[in-house]
Amino acid sequence: MKEMSRGGAGVIAAFLLLLAVCIAPAAAIGVTGAKYLGSIPPGGTDTHQMDINIGAGEDPTDIVVEVKGFGQTLDASYTSLDPASDVSPYSARSFITLDRASLHLEPGSEQTVTATIKLPQDVGQGGRYAIIYVHALPGKGKAFTTAVNVPVFITVAGTTLTETGSILQVATGDLAIGLPIAITTTFKNTGNYHYYFARNWITMKDANGAILANVTTAPLIYAIIPGNTIRFTVKPDIGSLQPGTYTVISRVLLEDGRILDENTTTFEVKQPYISPVTEASITLTPGSPGTLMSSGGRYSVTFPQGSVLGEVVVTLKPYPRENLQAAPTGAKLGTTCFEITGLSGLLSKDATVRVAYSADDLTAAGGDASQLRLAYWDTVQNMWVILPTQLNTQAMSLTATTNHMSVWAVMVSSTAGAVSPIATNIPLLAMVVLVIAIGIALAILFLIIRRRR
47 or 15, greater pLDDT: 47
In a domain, 443, yes or no: no
pLDDT level of residue 12 (50, 70, 90 thresholds)? very low
Q: What total of structural domains would you count in the chain?
A: 3
Q: Give the pairing type, strands 36-40 and 147-156.
A: parallel
* 332, pLDDT greater than 80: yes
At 27, which amino acid appears? Answer: A
Instruction: Give the integer Cα–Cα distance in Å for 288 and 307.
Output: 9
- 301 shares its domain with 413: yes
**What pLDDT sits at residue 178?**
61
In a domain, 393, yes or no: yes
Residues 43 and 145 in one domain: yes
Same domain flag for 287 and 415: yes
Q: Which residues, 6+ apart, have CB-to-CB distance to 83 below 8 Å? A: 68, 69, 93
**For residue 346, is it within any domain?**
yes
pLDDT digits (tens, 9 = 90+) for 190-237: 999 999 999 999 999 999 999 988 999 999 999 999 999 999 999 887
Q: What are the CA-CA distances from residue 402 to residues 143, 234, 284 (Å)?
A: 56, 36, 17
Per-residue confidence (pLDDT) for residue 104, from 0 to 100: 93
Region for residue 82 given its phi and psi (left: phi exceeds 0; alpha: psi -120 to 50; beta: otherwise): beta
Statement: residue 255 has pLDDT above 90: yes
Chain centroid offset of residue 403 CA: 32
CATH number, domain containing residue 357: 2.60.220.30
Same structural domain for residues 410 and 284? yes
Pair 152, 209 in one domain: no
Checking if the pLDDT of 2 tops 50, the result is no
- CA–CA distances in Å: residue 277 to residues 61, 236, 239, 362, 446: 49, 12, 9, 18, 57
CA 452 to chain centre: 71
**What does the angle CA 279 – CA 280 – CA 285 come to, to the nearest 5 degrees?**
145
When pLDDT is averaged across residues 165-171 and rounded to a whole number, the result is 97
| Closest to 180 in 3D by CA, of 15, 294, 93 | 294
Which pLDDT score is estimated for 280? 85
| Lowest mean pLDDT, pick from 51-55, 143-147, 345-349 | 143-147
Among residues 229, 245, 273, the one where a domain terminates is 273
Inside any domain, residue 306: yes
Share of the chain above pLDDT 90, in %: 63
Is 428 contained in some domain? no
Calculate mean pLDDT across residues 424-429: 40
Per the structure, the complete domain to which residue 407 belongs is given by 280-419
Task: Look at residue 139 in the predicted model and tell me its pLDDT.
Answer: 63
pLDDT band (50, 70, 90) for residue 434: low
Average pLDDT estimate for 299-326: 90
Task: Judge contact between 182 and 238, C-beta under 8 A.
Answer: no
Q: Are residues 235 and 288 in the same domain?
A: no
Instruction: Pick the last residue of a domain from 273, 293, 327.
Output: 273
How would residue 145 be classed by pLDDT, with cut points 50, 70 and 90? low
Q: Indicate the helix (H) or strand (E) that contains 184.
A: strand 183-189
Asked if residue 393 has pLDDT above 50, the reply is yes
At residue 19, the pLDDT reads 37
The answer to the question of residue 450 being in a domain is: no
Residue from 277, 402, 419, 276 nearest 343 by CA: 402
Let me know if residue 379 belongs to a domain. Answer: yes
Gap between the Cα atoms of 397 and 354, Å rounded: 7
Please tell me whether residues 292 and 412 are part of one structural domain: yes
**Do the domain assignments include residue 322?**
yes
DSSP, collapsed to helix, strand or coil, labels residue 182 as: coil
Question: Measured in Å, how far apart are the chain's first and last C-alpha atoms?
Answer: 63
Q: Please state, in angstroms and as integers, the Cα–Cα distance from residue 147 to each residue in 22, 100, 151, following that order.
A: 18, 17, 13
What are the backbone angles phi and psi of residue 387, rounded to the nearest 5°? -95, 150
pLDDT over threshold 60, residue 6: no
Check whether residue 57 and residue 133 sit in a common domain. Answer: yes
Chosen domain end from 156, 178, 199: 156
Whole-number Å distance between alpha carbons of 234 and 219: 13
Cα 181 to Cα 47: distance, rounded to the nearest angstrom: 48
Model pLDDT for residues 19-35, shown as the tens digit of each residue: 333 333 445 889 999 99
| Angle, alpha carbons 308-310-313 (nearest 5°) | 80
Task: Look at residue 321 in the predicted model and tell me its pLDDT.
Answer: 82
> Quick one: pLDDT at residue 369?
92
Residues 424, 45: Cα–Cα separation, whole Å: 79
| Whether residues 296 and 333 fall in one domain | yes
CATH (domain of 77): 2.60.40.10
Do 357 and 394 lie in one domain? The reply is yes
**One domain, residues 221 and 237:** yes
Cα 261-264-267 angle, rounded to 5 deg = 150
Phi, psi of 368 (to 5 degrees): -100, 95
> In terms of domains, do 73 and 145 share one?
yes
Angstrom CA distances, 259 to 163, 192, 254, 342, 385, stand at: 11, 17, 6, 43, 54
Closest among 425, 412, 277 to 354, alpha carbons compared: 277
Lowest mean pLDDT among 42-51, 370-379, 412-421, 435-444: 412-421
Q: What value does the mean pLDDT take over residues 242-269?
A: 95
Within a 13 Å sphere around the CA of 22, how many CA atoms are in the beta-carbon half?
Answer: 6
Q: How far apart are CA 357 and CA 333, in angstroms?
A: 12
Per-residue pLDDT tens for 336-358? 889 999 998 899 999 999 998 88
What is the per-residue pLDDT across 77-131, written as a single tens digit (0 to 9) for each? 999 999 999 999 999 999 999 999 999 999 999 999 999 999 999 999 999 999 9
